[in-house]
Structure 1
């Protein structure tokens, strides 16, 4: 049974979501002290976090930043705020998805199922190490290493990189990436993918590899293989 941590201060909404998720055989935990969210997170060790933006004490961005600095656990934001910068900020902080309130429960469960399948199932593949552009990609540990150093990617970032590397030097369409990442592209905004790819590039830039992920306008993205000198 997967453990889900629901960080929501609206008691009515919390109980409604908890009841629905429990019916899907998820073990749902709430927050008892909103000034100690991270402490409760470390105690519970959830498999996925669902978090609101507007919370007592500190907002959801604060807790997402703190959780992400210590863990790659999948994070989904729920928010009644509809400003595009909220979604962009969420993705830049390392969230895996963003759902605006009010939402249909089928959308939430579809996103949860897709993320859990991707995060906890794809690592069972036999091939866990891959070499690309003189860097070693460790799919199991979400690490990219070259002579410059090592970076740890989020689940979304390593999955996007994996999809692109598997078809290196070939254009992978935006539609294919969205479908592979979130299963049902009807529930995903096109900007969500853009933010995730840009975040991946920014991380790869730390190793001098960001330029090898190229955008093909109107088509998709391509992972270029470094040409041997």
Structure 2
């Protein structure tokens, strides 16, 4: 169904994830050369990345940044360093989700499937959302304004999609968090704040200043 690349140097863990994901019908590749990950990434051409933070030679943040130069596919960080600083750092670097070690393989699959579903299962929706001249294409997850394309991570895309679908209405933080992660378990609110701030910075740089407005105590909206 989908191609998943695992960037994890603990062989026992990577093998366990490989078997679990493959049992769901996905194609899996475990990176072997941690000194130069990109050749394996580009050759495999994955739909999703599972990324450890602590790796030989260069850490997961480095490789996330390198992948973001050439691809916007979803990246899920997996790490035992699950403090707030690392979670926020992972989101800042372009990550789409964070799973703390140790984790149950069934939980891993639930999160992985949710990310794949919200990233690629866009059929049956209105193909384009428009506001203030900004065009959000739901088929290829791109945003264009005045002929220029604005790169978005998948979390940023989902935030913008939700706000534009509810144009003129206040969207609560809880609604956005449910839309992003599609799980009932608690998610650190800092991750949403970081994604909103990063999205606003990109919109401002493109000339879409104050595109997203904060309604104190209520949420966010586009008017």
Aligned position for 2:114: 114
Distance 1:79 1:154 in 2: 20
Q: Which consecutive residues of structure 2, in runs of 5 or more, have no partner in the other structure?
A: none
Distance 1:103 1:210 in 2: 41
Tell me the CA shift for residue 80 of structure 1: 1.1
* SS class of match (2:6): strand
Aligned position for 2:181: 182
Tell me the CA shift for residue 107 of structure 1: 2.4
Q: Is 1:102 matched up with 2:107?
A: no
Aligned position for 1:198: 197
Aligned position for 1:36: 36
Q: Is 1:15 matched up with 2:11?
A: no
**Maintained 8 Å contact 1:139/1:158:** no
Aligned position for 1:167: 166
**Maintained 8 Å contact 2:68/2:94:** yes
Question: For this pair of structures, how many residues does the alignment match?
Answer: 223
Tell me the CA shift for residue 79 of structure 1: 0.9
Tell me the CA shift for residue 25 of structure 1: 2.1
Matches within 5 A, 1:1-229: 1-122=1-122, 124-125=123-124, 127-147=126-146, 149-224=148-223
TM-score w.r.t. structure 1 length? 0.90
Distance 1:19 1:149 in 2: 42
* SS class of match (1:211): coil
> Which sits farther off after the overlay, 53-62 or 191-200?
191-200
> Which sits farther off after the overlay, 11-20 or 145-154?
145-154
After the TM superposition, which parts of structure 1 deviate over 6 Å for at least 4 consecutive aligned residues? none
TM-score w.r.t. structure 2 length? 0.92
Tell me the CA shift for residue 105 of structure 1: 2.3
> Which sits farther off after the overlay, 179-188 or 68-77?
179-188
